[in-house]
Amino acid sequence: MRPPAVTQQVLAWLDERLDLSGLRAFIAEKSVPRHRHSVWYYMGGITLFLVGVQVATGILLLLYYRPSAAEAYESVQFIVSQVEFGWLIRNLHSWSANLLILMAFVHLFSTFFLRAYRKPRELTWVTGVLLLFIMMGFGFSGYLLPWNELAFFATKVGTGIAGAVPVAGDFMVRFLRGGDEVTGATLTRFYGIHVAILPAITTVLLGVHLLLIQRQGMSVPPSIEKRAKAGEKIREEPFFPNYVLHDVMWWYVALAVLAALALFLPWELGKKADAFAPVPAGIRPEWYFLAMFQTLKLIPSHVFGLEGEMLGVMGFNIAAVLLLLVPFIDRRPADSGQSRVLTAAGILAVTYLVVFTIYGYYAA
Amino acid sequence: MATTQLSRRLAGIVLAVTVCAAAAPAAAQTAAVTQCETCHRGQADARLSTPARDFALTDVHRERGFSCVNCHGGNASEPDQIKAKAPSTGFKGKPAGQAVIAVCAQCHSDATLMRKFAPKQRIDQAAEYATSVHGQQLAKGDTRVATCASCHGAHGVRLVGDAQSPVYVRNVATTCSRCHSDPARMSGYTLPDGSPLPTDQHAKYTRSVHHAAMVKGNDLSAPTCNDCHGNHGAAPPGVGAIANVCGTCHTVFATKFALSAHSQIFDRSCVECHSNHEIAKPSDEMLGTDKAAVCVTCHGDGDNGFKAAAAMRGQIEQLKAAISHSESVVAEAENAGMAMGSQSIALREASNRLTLARTELHAFDPKPVEAVLQEGLAITAKIDAEGAAALAEMSYRRTGLAVSLAAILLVVVALRLKIRSLPYPPDR
């Protein structure tokens, strides 16, 4: 099917000036592997789509949101009650943020278990893990912005945990809070981090991540890589339109889920934060920090003469570094079999995260 | 002989200087242990030893440098019992009756002296006491009545703000009840109408809303005995003064009541409907023409008061029902995910109108009550309309979403079909 005449004229106009023949050839030639594990490769696409939703809804929220302790809560209240479709935008932003982190975790673990991090894709893995940490930073900073009671006290607890880091702990707490306590200064600081600093870092990391994927092509699982090396042909499909249409289909599914969540489970605003109010019951962080939160609660106050909380925080830092270094720990070639130790560690990590998140949810 | 007289005069001058110096300690320093205490603490008879021990342990006077001789006279430095209590020492023994008042008043009615220790404290307690029923009975020679020490204690006197003091705000009722709940002690006393003085005031007070506020609500501003009867000038509020007494706290109610026809008729004003010691938490059931209503005690079917009571109660119930309905509308809309913050605030405003109406009705004029209630009803009507609009908006959103979801799913199916129809290149 040929494009309409107007489109052809526009493309011809652009081609005359920009020489799009290279791009056309790239689109026509680019193909991606197709196999029984292909479904996992769409998880990254869904995550990317949700990032787009976050950017779009975040920009719309910025038009009305006011980042001060005196006005933040009221401005969010205004958005959800007075602004046309403000309720939908705020609900989409909140739900999309949570789905985004969920999909980022699914993408991370699918990449891990399919060994897609192996040479030459080490840097793609590192940028991906860094992006996951950045997304969690988005979640942590964004949670406080409505300036409601639960977020206020959860942020107080969350930033307080940074104090357990040896040597730099006190500095980190003051740096995060913009003072000794969670105040309007913390809100302004979190706002700046949420809408300027983290988006800037994300743009760079995401750009490198996508560029590397494009440059190195899509990986295939070791079993298929092995068969390819043995001379067996790998099934492929054109990137355009086949893979793109698949991606778009999944994006639509994500959009349907988001819309249903936004309507049937609207994100509560709660009460306005009051530093002098008693700490309300049920203070807990967002679900993606629950496993860590619950672990810290369970660690005794002192272990072998050291502070339990400090040990826990250091443990999480070590785990984060190990996660970043996975491609440098498992240095086998892409077509070699599973590393049993790493597979066991991955299963253990997923089990720990799921069990402790559920435990933390009900314990809180 | 002359030498002996001179010696006695000199001894007298020395003693007078000593007593005066002791009577007005220059600074708030704890008094040193005197011979009186040394001797009394060693007594086998508890009546003699306990006062000395109590005085040493907790007494506020001792902490400020006063000693036994300031109230009892005598020579505190004389180890010999006979000489210490010799008539020349001004020894008074155990004061009783009017002597207790006089002993306490010698300092507590002395503005110059009290300024050194408690400059804000009043100095008219003795004068007030003389006007009290206790003081008047004492003046008639009745020594069974309470004097200063009956309430404050004699030795081991604590500051009024000390939670262990018998006159600390939470302990006042119990302290009064020690005598007033004792039928034997109260026998022979009568009310102005000649009936025997009851002894159930404390029992009734413990069932009252005031007691509950103080004990359960820990509200130390809630009234106890002395807030209505006075403390040093304790007496029942006279007929006609009750509304003033209640009005010291319930100002608005007293103002409204003063405007009412009832203020001219009720001998016992507030007490006519609310009783005195056993004041229950007021309820709307007290108003109206039901059996439980206090109005029907005087008003009968058909009279204007009866009609007014029925009208006011009916309107109050109408606003209560309207508020209840609005609450359910707001809750339904909130549960559906709609922001109802301003409506929740308006609901509180409607409840305020209800409270205001309950205040207004103490003027017993249906018109201002109705005006306030109508304001409340207008607020609830607005909340209902906004709640209905919110629910309609929610319905619109759901319909819109259902259509959007159907469209999205249609696109998903179409994409799936399109993908299936796409040709795949041969394997490479």
pLDDT digits (tens, 9 = 90+) for A113-162: 999 999 899 999 999 999 999 999 999 999 999 999 989 999 998 999 88
pLDDT reading at A249 higher than 90: yes
Question: Which residues on adjacent β-strands are paired with residue B196?
Answer: B190
Q: Yes or no: say if A331 and A119 are a contact pair by the CB < 8 Å rule.
A: yes
What's the confidence (pLDDT) of residue B426? 55
Would you give the DSSP letter of residue A336? Answer: S
Nearest in space to A225 (alpha carbons), one of A217, B125, A61, B87 = A217
Residue B138 lies in a domain: yes
Q: Yes or no: say if A105 and A44 are a contact pair by the CB < 8 Å rule.
A: no
Counting residues of chain A whose pLDDT is more than 90, the rounded percentage is 60
Q: Yes or no: say if A275 and A148 are a contact pair by the CB < 8 Å rule.
A: no
**To 5 degrees, how large is the angle CA B323–CA B301–CA B318?**
5
**CA–CA distance, B242 with B207 (Å, rounded to integer):** 20
What's the confidence (pLDDT) of residue B23? 47
- State the burial class of residue A336 (Cβ atoms within 10 Å of its Cβ: 0-12, 13-18, 19+): middle
What's the confidence (pLDDT) of residue A221? 83
Residue with tokens 């970043």: A324
Q: Mean of the per-residue pLDDT values for chain A?
A: 91
Residue A66 lies in a domain: yes
CB–CB of A81 and B339 under 8 A? Answer: yes
Domain containing A182 equals 34-283
Going by C-beta distance under 8 Å and a sequence separation of 6 or more, which residues neighbour residue B380?
B319, B322, B323, B325, B326, B347, B350
Q: Yes or no: say if B364 and B308 are a contact pair by the CB < 8 Å rule.
A: yes
Structurally, chain A folds into a number of domains equal to 1
What's the confidence (pLDDT) of residue B13? 41
**To 5 degrees, how large is the angle CA B105–CA B110–CA B111?**
140
At A74, the pLDDT band (50, 70, 90 cuts) reads very high
Structurally, chain B folds into a number of domains equal to 4
Q: Which of B334, B393, B399, B422 to mutate to test the interface with A (most CBs of A within 10 A)?
A: B422
What's the confidence (pLDDT) of residue B289? 92
DSSP states along A252-300: HHHHHHHHHHHHHSPPP--SBP-TTSPPPTT----HHHHHHHHHHHHS-
pLDDT reading at B18 higher than 50: no
Residue A88 lies in a domain: yes
Residue B112 lies in a domain: no
More confident residue, B362 or A166: B362
Residues of A in contact with B411 (CB under 8 A): 252
pLDDT reading at B22 higher than 50: no
CB–CB of A249 and B419 under 8 A? Answer: yes
Contact with chain A for residue B413, Cβ under 8 A: no
CB–CB of B427 and A246 under 8 A? Answer: no
Residue B115 lies in a domain: no
Lowest-pLDDT choice from A52-66, A320-334, B160-174, B333-347: B333-347
What's the confidence (pLDDT) of residue B10? 41
Domain containing B324 equals 304-421
What's the confidence (pLDDT) of residue B235? 81
Q: List the structure tokens of A21.
A: 């023949």
CA of B428: which chain A residue's CA is closest?
A: A233
At B11, the pLDDT band (50, 70, 90 cuts) reads very low
For residue A347, give the 3-state DSSP assignment.
Answer: helix
CB–CB of A242 and B419 under 8 A? Answer: yes
Contact with chain A for residue B397, Cβ under 8 A: yes
CA of A83: which chain B residue's CA is closest?
A: B339
pLDDT reading at A220 higher than 90: no
What's the confidence (pLDDT) of residue B7? 46
What's the confidence (pLDDT) of residue A2? 65
Nearest CA distance, A70 vs chain B (angstrom): 17
Residue B250 lies in a domain: yes
pLDDT reading at A332 higher than 90: no
CA of A73: which chain B residue's CA is closest?
A: B341
| Chain A / chain B CB contacts < 8 angstroms | 64
Nearest CA distance, B407 vs chain A (angstrom): 10
pTM: 0.65
pLDDT reading at B29 higher than 70: no
Residue A309 lies in a domain: no
What's the confidence (pLDDT) of residue A101? 96
Half-sphere exposure in the Cβ direction for A168 (13 Å, CA)? 6
At B141, the pLDDT band (50, 70, 90 cuts) reads very high
Residues of B in contact with A259 (CB under 8 A): 401, 404-405, 408
Contact with chain B for residue A234, Cβ under 8 A: yes
From B398, B405, B415, residue closest to A248, measured CB to CB: B415
Residue A10 lies in a domain: no
CB–CB of A87 and B341 under 8 A? Answer: no
Q: Which of residues 328-347 of B touch A (CB under 8 A)?
A: 337-339, 341-342
pLDDT reading at B166 higher than 50: yes
Residue A84 lies in a domain: yes
Residues of A in contact with B396 (CB under 8 A): none
CA of B407: which chain A residue's CA is closest?
A: A256
For residue A17, give the 3-state DSSP assignment.
Answer: helix
Q: Yes or no: say if B401 and A260 are a contact pair by the CB < 8 Å rule.
A: yes
What's the confidence (pLDDT) of residue A3? 67
CB–CB of A259 and B405 under 8 A? Answer: yes
Q: Where are the alpha helices (DSSP H) in chain A?
A: 5-18, 21-29, 42-62, 72-81, 86-113, 122-144, 149-161, 169-177, 184-192, 198-216, 222-229, 244-264, 287-298, 308-324, 326-329, 340-363
Residue A61 lies in a domain: yes
- Residue B241 sits in the same domain as residue B231: no
Q: List the structure tokens of B133.
A: 């029923």
Residue B111 lies in a domain: no
- Residue B229 sits in the same domain as residue B241: no
Q: Yes or no: say if B132 and B235 are a contact pair by the CB < 8 Å rule.
A: yes
What's the confidence (pLDDT) of residue A93? 96
pLDDT reading at A7 higher than 60: yes
CA of A263: which chain B residue's CA is closest?
A: B398
What's the confidence (pLDDT) of residue A316? 93
Residue A272 φ then ψ, to 5°:
-65, 145
Question: Which residues on adjacent β-strands are paired with residue A303?
Answer: A306
List, for residues B50-79, the tens digit of each pLDDT value.
Answer: 999 999 888 999 988 898 999 999 998 888
Question: Which residues on adjacent β-strands are paired with residue A302?
Answer: A307
**CA–CA distance, A277 with A149 (Å, rounded to integer):** 9
- Residue B40 sits in the same domain as residue B133: no
pLDDT reading at B1 higher than 60: no
For residue A77, give the 3-state DSSP assignment.
Answer: helix
More confident residue, A236 or B147: B147
CB–CB of B408 and A252 under 8 A? Answer: yes
At B16, the pLDDT band (50, 70, 90 cuts) reads very low
pLDDT reading at B81 higher than 90: no
Residues of B in contact with A269 (CB under 8 A): 339
List, for residues B359-394, the tens digit of each pLDDT value.
Answer: 999 999 999 999 999 999 999 999 999 999 999 998
Residues of A in contact with B415 (CB under 8 A): 245-246, 248-249, 252
Residue B196 φ then ψ, to 5°:
-60, 145
Residues of A in contact with B333 (CB under 8 A): none
CA of B390: which chain A residue's CA is closest?
A: A81
More confident residue, A338 or B165: B165
What's the confidence (pLDDT) of residue B233? 86
What's the confidence (pLDDT) of residue A1? 56
Question: Which residues on adjacent β-strands are paired with residue A223?
Answer: none
**CA–CA distance, A298 with A292 (Å, rounded to integer):** 10
CA of A271: which chain B residue's CA is closest?
A: B341
Residues of A in contact with B341 (CB under 8 A): 77, 81
From A77, A249, A264, residue closest to B416, measured CB to CB: A249
User: Average pLDDT, stretch B22-37?
Assistant: 66
- The one-letter amino acid code at A268 reads E
- Residue B231 sits in the same domain as residue B242: no
Nearest CA distance, A78 vs chain B (angstrom): 9
What's the confidence (pLDDT) of residue B285? 94
CB–CB of B401 and A263 under 8 A? Answer: yes
User: Average pLDDT, stretch A258-272?
Assistant: 85
Nearest CA distance, B346 vs chain A (angstrom): 15
User: Average pLDDT, stretch B154-172?
Assistant: 93
At A256, the pLDDT band (50, 70, 90 cuts) reads very high
User: Average pLDDT, stretch B205-217?
Assistant: 94
What's the confidence (pLDDT) of residue B8? 46
Q: List the structure tokens of B219.
A: 């509200």
CB–CB of A237 and B341 under 8 A? Answer: no
**CA–CA distance, A48 with A104 (Å, rounded to integer):** 9
pLDDT reading at A270 higher than 50: yes
Residue B103 lies in a domain: no
Run of H or E residues at A307: strand A306-307
Q: Yes or no: say if A263 and B401 are a contact pair by the CB < 8 Å rule.
A: yes
- Residue B183 sits in the same domain as residue B161: yes
Contact with chain B for residue A235, Cβ under 8 A: yes
Q: In the 3-class helix/strand/coil scheme, how is chain B assigned residue by residue?
A: CHHHHHHHHHHHHHHHHHHHHHHCCCCCCCCCCCHHHHHHHCCCCHHHHHHHHHHHHHCHHHHCCCCCHHHHCCCCCCCCHHHHCCHHHCCCCCCCCHHHHHHHHHHHCCHHHHHHHCCCCCCCHHHHHHHCHHHHHHHCCCCCCCCHHHHHCCCCCCCCCCCCCCCCCCCHHHHHHHHHCCHHHHCCCECCCCCECCCCHHHHHCCCHHHHHHHCCCCCCCCCHHHHHCCCCCCCCCCCCHHHHHHCCCHHHHHHHHHCCHHHHCCCCCHHHHCCCCCCCCCHHHCCCCCCCCHHHCCCCCCHHHHHHHHHHHHHHHHHHHHHHHHHHHHHHHHCCCCCHHHHHHHHHHHHHHHHHHHHHHHCCHHHHHHHHHHHHHHHHHHHHHHHHHHHHHHHHHHHHHHHHHHHHHHHHHHHHHHHHCCCCCCC
Going by C-beta distance under 8 Å and a sequence separation of 6 or more, which residues neighbour residue B310?
B288, B289
CA of A239: which chain B residue's CA is closest?
A: B424
Q: Yes or no: say if B218 and B170 are a contact pair by the CB < 8 Å rule.
A: no
Lowest-pLDDT choice from A79-88, A233-242, A251-260, B25-34: B25-34
pLDDT reading at B97 higher than 50: yes
For residue A238, give the 3-state DSSP assignment.
Answer: strand
- Residue B136 sits in the same domain as residue B223: yes
Nearest CA distance, A83 vs chain B (angstrom): 12
Residues of B in contact with A246 (CB under 8 A): 415, 419
CB–CB of A245 and B428 under 8 A? Answer: no
User: Average pLDDT, stretch B250-257?
Assistant: 91
Contact with chain A for residue B417, Cβ under 8 A: no
Contact with chain A for residue B115, Cβ under 8 A: no
Q: Which of B344, B396, B408 to mutate to test the interface with A (most CBs of A within 10 A)?
A: B408
List, for residues B212-251, the tens digit of each pLDDT value.
Answer: 999 999 999 999 999 999 889 888 776 667 778 888 899 9
CB–CB of B405 and A236 under 8 A? Answer: no
From A249, A255, A256, residue closest to B415, measured CB to CB: A249
- Residue B257 sits in the same domain as residue B231: no
Here the CATH number for the domain that contains residue A137 is 1.20.810.10
CB–CB of A80 and B397 under 8 A? Answer: no
List, for residues A340-356, the tens digit of each pLDDT value.
Answer: 899 999 999 999 999 99
pLDDT reading at B164 higher than 80: yes
Q: Is the peptide bond before A241 cis (omega within 30 degrees of 0)?
A: yes
More confident residue, A3 or A287: A287
At B28, the pLDDT band (50, 70, 90 cuts) reads low
**CA–CA distance, B64 with B68 (Å, rounded to integer):** 13
The pairs formed by B233-237 with CB atoms below 8 angstroms and a separation of 24 or more are B233/B128, B233/B129, B233/B131, B233/B132, B233/B135, B234/B132, B234/B133, B234/B134, B235/B131, B235/B132, B235/B133, B236/B133, B236/B191, B236/B192
CB–CB of B422 and A259 under 8 A? Answer: no
